[in-house]
Amino acid sequence: MLKRAAPILFVLAIAGAAHAQMGQGGGGGRGGRGGHGGGSKPSSQQSAPSSTPAKAAPTPTNQIVIVGVVKAIDLETQRVTIAYEPVEALNWPAGSNPFPVSKTAMLTAARVGQKVKFSIDSGQISAIGPFDPAP
């Protein structure tokens, strides 16, 4: 009789362990987590979200609007030097850089000293225009 009961006890022991790992008791607890005893928790607290905020998908570079002031326009090298404000989305501190433009026509879209907003794509300016602060 004991030989027949051993497999059944083994199955019951495994089922009980699996049940406890799912946070459903074990060790004398009703509704405790991870097999630890104790009082029961409302189901809304058993599956509480973690305290670590979920990371949002990064914004594509060509959709990030950068604000700066045009410092120089070089027609020969087709670059616009812009002193830009910090760009959190790119982890850039404020700085100044000569950016190549994707289209030559952009070299006439701005003038030295003008405050502009621009976007970059593949390391070059893909869009540029005057900066108009929100009303």
* pTM for this prediction: 0.57
Q: Is residue 51 part of a domain?
A: no
- Looking at the structure, tell me whether residues 74 and 117 fall in a common domain: yes
53, part of any domain: no
Q: Which two tokens stand for residue 40?
A: 């029961």
**Domain with 19 in it:** 2-41
Say if CB 104 and CB 51 are below 8 A apart. Answer: no
For residue range 36-81, list pLDDT tens digits in order: 454 444 444 444 455 555 666 677 888 899 999 999 999 999 999 9
Q: What is the pLDDT of residues 65-123, one digit of tens each?
A: 999 999 999 999 999 999 999 999 999 999 999 999 999 999 998 999 999 999 999 99
Count up the domains in the chain and report the number.
Answer: 2
